[in-house]
Amino acid sequence: MNKDNTYGRLTMRELWDNYRAEVWFFLILSACVVLGHCLSHYIPTELFDDVIAPLQNAVTAAVCLFGAYVLFQHADGLRIRTSYAWALVAWGMADAFLILQTYVFHTPVFHLGTEALNAYTMLMGNFLGWLLLVYPTESLRPGWMTWKIALWQLVPMTALVVLDYFIPWDLRWIISLYPILLFVLVCTHIRAYRIWCEENYSSMDHIDVQWIVRYLIMLLVMGISYGYMIVSDNPCRSFTQNILLVFLFGYSIEQILFRKDPWSDVQRDDVQSTKEGVKELADSGQSDDQKKLEEWLAKEKPYLNPDFKLMDLREVLPMNRTYLSQFINDTYGCSFYQFANRFRVEEAKRLMRECPKMKLSDVAAQSGFASPIVFSSVFSKVTGVSPREWNKKCNNS
């Protein structure tokens, strides 16, 4: 065991610490799907229609409305929280309406329970599914979702339902597939968002990339479950869908409240830089700026802080975010994320040369990396070999 730690091999404990959240996420999600699918085959139809379906919808409505209340109370001026809170309000009110019109007023417009999905029910389902895309869209492209764009996205679904009423063909499958187009549209923003993060942050830890991927995976699983609801003869086929909804809302509300929002940090930094005054990037002074920057980095070593970000460079270069990003790209030919990690890799090399028996987790922490996993990945990309291989070669030569 000591020999493994000599060259920085990750222990099982370290692997668990780094991937614990992802493991629990997929275990709970899988358990929800398996449990719901198994139980639905043993639930009597009348029991589901009269008791379980309204109870599940009532729980979903309660989670949505309570979550919306909490998000409104802790909005802190963040558009992403208020937009998702309104989406939760819309979903909660829709579920409340379904329960009231089916079991209180007995004038069903849409049906709960085991009845087949018609075009109108699917229209409402697609609208609710569209609400679930509000959060990832706002996370990836803040301010992009306007009322005009929302209208253009919702009109085709309504048009399909109208066509289904007038023409003899069954358009339910086309209606059910339309949300996939919206899902793909959201996925196309992920790469641009990650590039933006790399231009402003030196660490992807606590940045939204992985959370967005997990959220979209949940939506994909729910989409599959939705398709199963359309084609299945199982009278309680919506049982699993309702379980997934409660899990999705609870998990997303918790993440939105406690996750780090990179956009708000950058917006605050931009406001501060405007108040203090900035200068533009000039070719004649670029070499002087580079010299000042590198002297400051060598002296202060700010990259040893995992939360080191682009706007921290304003301590030595009083530029706004756009010019700072342009300066790093033009001078060093890389993003700020790559720029900071180059210095961290050099610091890690120094530590491994001077302390060859230091554990990989300690090298990562003292070099400014957020975790041993990130350190190993970045080090391999920069040097072409893993930290363990580099350490062995360096200290055997």
Rounded-to-integer distance, Cα 360 and Cα 389, Å: 12
Closest CA to 325 of 200, 230, 188: 200
Q: Are residues 146 and 74 part of one domain?
A: yes
Q: Are residues 189 and 153 part of one domain?
A: yes
Closest CA to 67 of 135, 15, 124, 6: 135
Both tokens of residue 86?
């309104």
Rounded-to-integer distance, Cα 289 and Cα 367, Å: 25
- Give residue 137's pLDDT: 84
Rounded-to-integer distance, Cα 204 and Cα 212, Å: 13
Segment 39-68 shows an average pLDDT of: 87
Q: How many CB atoms lie within 10 A of CB 331?
A: 16
- Give residue 343's pLDDT: 93
- Give residue 2's pLDDT: 36
Asked whether residue 2 is assigned to any structural domain, the reply reads no
Question: Where is pLDDT greater, at 103 or 265?
Answer: 103
pLDDT for residue 4 is more than 50: no
The pTM of the full predicted model, rounded to 2 decimals, is: 0.70
Asked whether residue 132 is assigned to any structural domain, the reply reads yes
Rounded-to-integer distance, Cα 367 and Cα 359, Å: 12
Q: Are residues 239 and 296 part of one domain?
A: no
- For the chain, state the CA radius of gyration: 26
Q: Are residues 249 and 271 part of one domain?
A: no
pLDDT for residue 172 is more than 80: no
Asked whether residue 29 is assigned to any structural domain, the reply reads no
Q: What is the 3-state secondary structure (H, E, C) of the chain?
A: CHHHHHCCCCCHHHHHHHHHHHHHHHHHHHHHHHHHHHHHCCCCHHHHHHHHHHHHHHHHHHHHHHHHHHHHHCCCCCHHHHHHHHHHHHHHHHHHHHHHHHHCCCCCCCCCCCCCCCHHHHHHHHHHHHHHCHHHHHHHCCCCCCHHHHHHHHHHHHHHHHHHHHCCCCCHHHHHHHHHHHHHHHHCHHHHHHHHHHHHECCCCCCCHHHHHHHHHHHHHHHHHHHHHHHCCCCCCHHHHHHHHHHHHHHHHHHHHHCCCHHHHHHHHHHHHHHHCCCCCCHHHHHHHHHHHHHHHHHHCHHHCCCCEHHHHHHCCCCCHHHHHHHHHHHHCCCHHHHHHHHHHHHHHHHHHHCCCCCHHHHHHHHCCCCHHHHHHHHHHHHCCCHHHHHHHHHHC
Segment 105-119 shows an average pLDDT of: 60
pLDDT for residue 62 is more than 80: yes
Q: Are residues 307 and 187 part of one domain?
A: no
- Domain CATH number, residue 71: 1.20.1070
> Would you place residue 126 in the very low, low, confident or very high pLDDT band (cuts 50, 70, 90)?
confident
Mean pLDDT of the chain, nearest integer: 78
Are 214 and 25 contacting, i.e. CB atoms less than 8 angstroms apart? yes
The residue behind tokens 């709970």 is: 28
The residue behind tokens 């989670």 is: 63
Segment 385-395 shows an average pLDDT of: 82
pLDDT for residue 270 is more than 50: yes
Final residue belonging to a domain, choices 212, 243, 260: 260
> Would you place residue 374 in the very low, low, confident or very high pLDDT band (cuts 50, 70, 90)?
confident
Segment 316-336 shows an average pLDDT of: 87
Q: How many CA atoms are closer than 13 Å to the CA of 240, on its beta-carbon side?
A: 28
Final residue belonging to a domain, choices 237, 260, 283: 260
Rounded-to-integer distance, Cα 65 and Cα 375, Å: 41
Asked whether residue 10 is assigned to any structural domain, the reply reads no
Can you give the residue range of the structural domain that contains 182? 43-260
Segment 156-183 shows an average pLDDT of: 78
Final residue belonging to a domain, choices 226, 244, 260: 260
Q: Are residues 236 and 287 part of one domain?
A: no
Asked whether residue 168 is assigned to any structural domain, the reply reads yes
pLDDT for residue 376 is more than 70: yes
Q: Are residues 250 and 167 part of one domain?
A: yes
**Distances 135 to 73, 82, 198, 222 between C-alpha atoms, Å:** 18, 10, 21, 16
Asked whether residue 23 is assigned to any structural domain, the reply reads no
Q: Are residues 105 and 47 part of one domain?
A: yes
Asked whether residue 25 is assigned to any structural domain, the reply reads no
> Would you place residue 73 in the very low, low, confident or very high pLDDT band (cuts 50, 70, 90)?
very high
Asked whether residue 20 is assigned to any structural domain, the reply reads no
pLDDT for residue 169 is more than 80: no
pLDDT for residue 281 is more than 60: no
- Domain CATH number, residue 363: 1.10.10.60
> Would you place residue 145 in the very low, low, confident or very high pLDDT band (cuts 50, 70, 90)?
confident
> Would you place residue 116 in the very low, low, confident or very high pLDDT band (cuts 50, 70, 90)?
low
> Would you place residue 1 in the very low, low, confident or very high pLDDT band (cuts 50, 70, 90)?
very low
pLDDT for residue 200 is more than 70: yes
- Give residue 158's pLDDT: 82
> Would you place residue 254 in the very low, low, confident or very high pLDDT band (cuts 50, 70, 90)?
confident
Burial class (CB in 10 A: 0-12, 13-18, 19+), 344: buried
Q: Are residues 306 and 250 part of one domain?
A: no
Question: Where is pLDDT greater, at 369 or 41?
Answer: 369
